[in-house]
Amino acid sequence: MASSYEKGKDSELKAANWLKEKFEQGFTKKVLPVGTKIDGSSAFHNFDLVSDDNQIVAEVKSHQITVNGNVPSAKISDTYAACGMLEKVSAKQKLLILTDHSFYKLFRRYSDGKISRQIEIVCIDENQTPVGPEVVLPESPKNSFEVFWTKLAGAISSKQTIVNWTVKKGSTGENFEAGPVCVDCVFVSAPSALERIKVPKNDFKLMYDNWQMYSREKVSRGDLAKQSRFTKYTISIIHQYQNLMG
């Protein structure tokens, strides 16, 4: 039987391979600053996996549900501690990678509303399709896009900074500003654009209707770009405000 240490190393290796394929760069253990000590010097933490460019940071946990079905309090506390370090580090993308699907479901339920939304919880259980926040959205009623549109209008009633994001690369490229929402468009200001851009409401509906398929990488941005020239903006905005969906 493999020891806890061996299981942990095996999980980190699987996670490193998954990250390398997803983000097309290497990932290794790295010590990064997470705060300042009383004496003014930096406090550091050794993170499980950090991208070559230091912009993507991940902690990996191989915890499993106990055989008798009791809530594994110590394991949940340990996973919260990992989230605490992720919250403190400076990075464009922060991932909590879990390798057991049952524990993943349990921790998502326990941590709902208790950890930073900057942290993406991902499960790479080899017996399950890799899942994360993008693929667990509930089925939406037919009028849900109009509900989402109304909520989005409230969220970006004034200009908000949007992290440029794709499912393949995560946070990438230059960020931009979005807002406000008008009747049939969202105003966008991008550093590389000479003037403000109007992104049509129908382009948001296209991305909204295809969001689960895009999140699962069953449909590509290139496929959607054949129907909309604003996918850069609609993808990033919906990703940032996907908590308003459903």
The domain locations on the chain are 4-135, 144-244
For residue 5, pLDDT beyond 80 = no
Pairing of the two strands 170-171 and 165-166: antiparallel
Residue 80: strand, helix, or coil: helix
CA–CA distance, 50 with 34 (Å, rounded to integer): 14
Average pLDDT over residues 72-87: 94
Q: What is the pTM of this model?
A: 0.53
Is the pLDDT score of 98 beyond 60?
A: yes
pLDDT over 70 percentage in the chain:
89
Of 18-22, 130-134, 230-234, the least confident: 130-134
Amino acid, single-letter form, for residue 56: I
The pLDDT assigned to 240 comes to 93
Per-residue pLDDT band at 6 (split at 50, 70, 90): confident
The model's confidence at residue 162, banded by pLDDT at 50, 70 and 90, is very high
Average pLDDT over residues 57-83: 88
Long-range contacts of 189-196 (CB under 8 A, 24+ apart): 189/159, 190/233
- In the predicted structure, residue 141 carries a pLDDT above the cut 70: no
Q: Looking at beta carbons, which pairs linking 184-187 to residues 24 or more positions away fall under 8 Å?
A: 186/152, 186/156, 186/233, 186/237
Compute the distance between CA of residue 20 and CA of residue 9 in angstroms, rounded to an integer: 16
**Gap between the terminal Cα atoms of the chain:** 44
Average pLDDT, the chain: 88
pLDDT in tens, 41-63: 999 999 999 999 999 999 999 99
Sole residue written with tokens 């095996």? 10
Looking at 63-139, which runs of residues are DSSP E strands? 93-98, 119-123
CA–CA separation, 121 and 134 (whole Å)? 10
% of the chain at pLDDT higher than 90: 63
* Segments of 99-214 assigned E as strands: 119-123, 160-162, 165-166, 170-171, 176-181, 185-189, 197-200
Using an 8 Å Cβ cutoff, are 100 and 121 in contact?
no
Look at residue 140 in the predicted model and tell me its pLDDT.
Answer: 42
pLDDT of residue 212: 87
Instruction: Give Dmax (Cα) for the chain.
Output: 63
**CB proximity list for 214: less than 8 A, separation 6 or greater:** 167, 207, 220, 221, 224, 235
Select the more confidently predicted residue: 217 or 133: 217
Q: So what's the pLDDT on residue 218? A: 85
CA 115 to chain centre: 13
Q: What is the CATH number of domain 4-135?
A: 3.40.1350
pLDDT at 190 over 80: yes
pLDDT value at residue 135: 37
Q: What is the model's pLDDT at position 13? A: 93
The Cα–Cα gap between 139 and 124 comes to: 23
pLDDT band at 138 (very low <50, low <70, confident <90, very high): very low
Task: Using the predicted structure, report yes or no on whether residue 9 has a pLDDT greater than 90.
Answer: no
